[in-house]
Amino acid sequence: MAGLSLFRRVIRNEDFNRVLGVEPFRPRPLGQKLLCKAVWFWPRIEDARGWAEASTGTQWNPEQYLHSHRTKLVEQVLQHTTTDDSLMELGCNCGSDMAQLYDLGYRNLRGVDASGAALDLFGREYPAVFRHCNIQHDLFQRYLMNSGDDEVEFIYSNGATIELVHPSFPVVAEICRVARSGVLLDLSEQSQGYPRDYVGLFRNSGFNLVYSNKPEVPNSKSHIFVFTRR
């Protein structure tokens, strides 16, 4: 894809590391700043800095995502998958959803999050899950690009993090490349960072919408979408 090819040429490993705080952050060169302002599709990953820097006392502090209740997203994961399936969580944060699946017998689990503080909390709150599962500190873009075709059966995510991925990266196409069987998302369509026609994009990548609770709760702030490969 032309978009992915341009993204790979512009965004380097050191750029990811700077956003993640692994290397000292340096602003873009002036030329790239001007390109970002003038050309909407010029690749950028700075939108993830808020998540990467999330810690106690900040807007997205990880503690607020600790919960013991079963979310609507997890309910759909349980309905559409089995404990033998391999699952990838994009934006695993402090691990509450993954820990529930682990307690129910899922073992082939992996996850990624940009927040090092959230992953530290994950390790403290759910040490057995954190040790057993494959958890990575990274941005979705690099994590997906480094994942193989059909690497997992299902991908699931609370979509607020996907919605912050700049359109210069074909996030839906990359998700569909990595997910062998299906994708489950909780999307806040009313307050997206970058609105997308998710149903159309998934359809173009060979996935059909098989469930959404949008007709049942049209005024909800977010809705569940389940896509399966045709």
Residue 223 in contact with residue 214, Cβ under 8 Å? yes
- Please report whether residue 172 resides in a domain: yes
Residue 43 in contact with residue 7, Cβ under 8 Å? yes
- Please report whether residue 16 resides in a domain: no
- Please report whether residue 224 resides in a domain: yes
For residue 74, the surrounding DSSP H or E stretch is helix 72-80
- Please report whether residue 41 resides in a domain: no
pLDDT in tens, 139-182: 999 999 999 999 999 999 987 778 889 999 999 999 999 999 99
pLDDT in tens, 173-212: 999 999 999 999 999 876 678 888 999 999 999 999 999 9
Q: Which domain holds residue 83?
A: 62-229
- Please report whether residue 43 resides in a domain: no
Tell me how many domains the chain contains.
1
Q: How many CA atoms lie within 13 A of 54 on its CB side?
A: 25
- Domain CATH code at residue 123: 3.40.50.150
- Please report whether residue 34 resides in a domain: no
For residue 97, the surrounding DSSP H or E stretch is helix 96-103
- Please report whether residue 171 resides in a domain: yes
User: Around Cβ 32, how many Cβ atoms within 10 Å?
Assistant: 14
Tokens of 117: 């503080």
195: CB partners within 8 A, 6+ apart: 189
pLDDT over 70 (residue 16): yes
Q: What is the pLDDT of residue 25?
A: 65
- Please report whether residue 97 resides in a domain: yes
Residue 125 in contact with residue 95, Cβ under 8 Å? yes
